[in-house]
Amino acid sequence: MAYNIIFYFSDQQRWDTCGCFGQPLNITPNLDQLAAEGVKFDNAFSPQPVCGPCRALFQTGKYPTETGCFRNNLMLPSNIKTLGEYMEKDAGYETAYIGKWHLASDGELEKKPTIDHTITAVPLELRGGYTGYWRASDVLEFTSHGYDGYVFDENNNRIDFKGYRADCINQFALDYLDQYTGEKPFFMTVSQIEPHHQNDHNHYEGPIGSRQRFANFVLPEDLKALGGNAAEEYPDYLGQCASLDENLGRLVAKLKEKGLYDNTVILYASDHGSHFKTRNRDAHLNGYDDYKRSCHDGCLHVPLVICGGPFTGGKEITDLVSTESIPKTLLALAGVDVGDKMIGENLLDVVEKKNHNRVNEVYAQISESRCGRCIRTENYMYSVYAPGINGGEAAASDVYADDFLYDMQKDPWQLNNVVADPAYANVKAELRERLLNWIQQAEGTRPTITD
């Protein structure tokens, strides 16, 4: 039988919360074990550090500027073939979707949607082609807190849960495996909201006792240098990440109990990271921000581990990759080659070094805090913004201007913006051309970038 596939992804998790990516505390032993068995990508970056746009990309394999979902509170369009449809119709998989959806409501940013499923059942036609097992809420942080809440099933019935949210969401995944008959291979998505902050409480809500358990946390250097609210929130944040990992371990144990583990591929990632209110404090902010929505590694650099099937051997990939490649990679595992119908690359090709002309850089679109674009290379991060344009109102611009340039070799935590430094004029000119090439390829237009 074809591989079973699990896409397990978190919300707002920095890469450096994981032991396999350098976290000094024992936060992620189960993910670390998958990395030891499979493949870990040391330099994986989000293509859009906002929940809705990134999820739209995960479901379509298209940039948010192409689908129109360039910010939160925009509905997934119905005329684009989705990952769920490919899996069910082309690959013959049964599907299960569990957790946060965030693609079924539509309206203005930061206002009550005009089409509003944020706290009600997502109708079948708005589930992105998933017709199977469904235990989800459109905006999970609106229907739950760190403890207790509700989701809806495939028949639109409300399912209440009691206990720590990450445990309960994961339990729905275990329940699915208990009722799985094995007639078809399965594709299961577990979309956890942890370690996202709880909006209405303005707080990261770890399991009770997190503040004591992780009192000896070590702040990453960017958070240590720039302030924000990390010193107060980080123990709970780590508690959330540890809970995710404990639940990942429970899922692996269930797969082994059911005799499914050896034929299952698990892909673990996050939609984006968190800058803990350290970024987007500059004069170019034109829109709104809390913890993401920035070109910086704190927002873009995410964990990515794939284990099972052809992803074996404890390999470490240092090439820069974008999580825009996740849908194409998942479909390749299911035996579906979508070619240029989706952006990105099959990450197995990166592991096997099949493309000798591969460019080692990634591209991201920034919205809500500003209308921006950026390119990340091994040595530099270069970002531009659209002057006078609100990032929650416009998806793109004809004119951009310099925003940030960081020398990653001298300044790995991105603390010294050298975008106006004459010593980097030639570097900036080269990066500007490469960024314009990315924009043209992704968006079909070549804007102007000014100093």
- In this predicted structure, the answer to whether residue 271 has a pLDDT above a threshold of 80 is yes
Task: Look at residue 59 in the predicted model and tell me its pLDDT.
Answer: 98
DSSP for 405-419, please give it.
EEETTT-TT-----T
326-348, pLDDT tens digit by residue? 999 999 999 999 999 999 999 99
State residue 243's pLDDT score.
Answer: 98
To the nearest whole number, what is the mean pLDDT of the chain?
A: 97
Give the rounded percent of residues in the chain with a pLDDT score beyond 90.
98
At 448, list the tokens.
């102007």
Judge if 4-352 and 370-449 fold alike in CATH terms.
no
29/19 Cα distance (integer angstroms): 7
- What integer is the mean pLDDT of 366-391? 98
Q: To which H or E segment does residue 168 belong?
A: helix 165-179
Element (H, E) at 48: none
pLDDT tens sequence across 128-184: 999 999 999 999 999 999 999 999 999 999 999 999 999 999 999 999 999 999 999
Task: List, in order, residues 6 or more apart from 114 with CB less than 8 Å away.
Answer: 106, 107
CA atoms within 13 A on the CB side of 279: 27
Cα radius of gyration (the chain): 21
List Cα–Cα distances, 42 to 50, 84, 304, 318, in angstroms. 21, 28, 8, 5
pLDDT per residue as tens digits for the range 199-219: 999 999 999 999 999 999 999
CA dist., res. 441 & res. 86, Å (int)? 24
Shortest CA distance to 11 belongs to which of 148, 162, 204, 175?
A: 204
Q: Which two tokens stand for residue 110?
A: 């930061």
Q: What CATH class does 370-449 carry? A: alpha beta
Count helices and strands (H / E) in the chain.
13, 16
Question: How many degrees, rounded to 5, is the angle at CA 380 between CA 376 and CA 385?
Answer: 60
User: Are 313 and 39 contacting, i.e. CB atoms less than 8 angstroms apart?
Assistant: yes
Q: What is residue 109's predicted lDDT score, i.e. its pLDDT?
A: 86
Write down the pLDDT at residue 319: 98
3 state SS of 144: strand
Q: What pLDDT is attached to residue 111?
A: 85
CATH architecture label of 4-352: 3-Layer(aba) Sandwich (3.40)
Those residues whose C-beta lies under 8 Å from the C-beta of residue 199, and which sit 6 or more positions away, are 141, 142
Residue 47 has pLDDT above 90, yes or no: yes
Cross-strand bridge partners of residue 81 = none
Give the number of C-alpha atoms closer than 13 A to the C-alpha of residue 148, restricted to the C-beta side: 0
Is residue 176 within 8 Å of 187, Cβ to Cβ?
A: no
- What count of residues does the chain have? 451
What is each CA distance from 133 to 78, 194, 413, in whole angstroms? 20, 21, 42
Any idea where the domains of the chain sit in the sequence? 4-352, 370-449
| pLDDT for the residue 436 | 98
Per-residue model confidence as pLDDT tens digits over 292-318:
999 999 999 999 999 999 999 999 999
Tens of pLDDT along 229-251?
A: 999 999 999 999 999 999 999 99
Identify the burial level of 175 via C-beta atoms within 10 angstroms of its C-beta, where 0-12 means exposed, 13-18 middle and 19 or more buried. middle
For position 127, what pLDDT does the model report? Answer: 97
Q: Is a pLDDT exceeding 80 seen at residue 1? A: no
Residue ranges of the alpha helices (H) in 258-398?
A: 297-300, 326-333, 347-351
State pLDDT tens for residues 79-127: 999 999 999 999 999 999 999 999 999 999 888 899 999 999 999 999 9
- 49's tokens: 């550090």
Q: What does the alpha-carbon distance between residue 257 and residue 195 come to, in Å, rounded to a whole number?
A: 28
Helix (H) or strand (E) holding 253: helix 230-257
Give the number of other Cβ atoms within 10 Å of residue 215's Cβ. 8
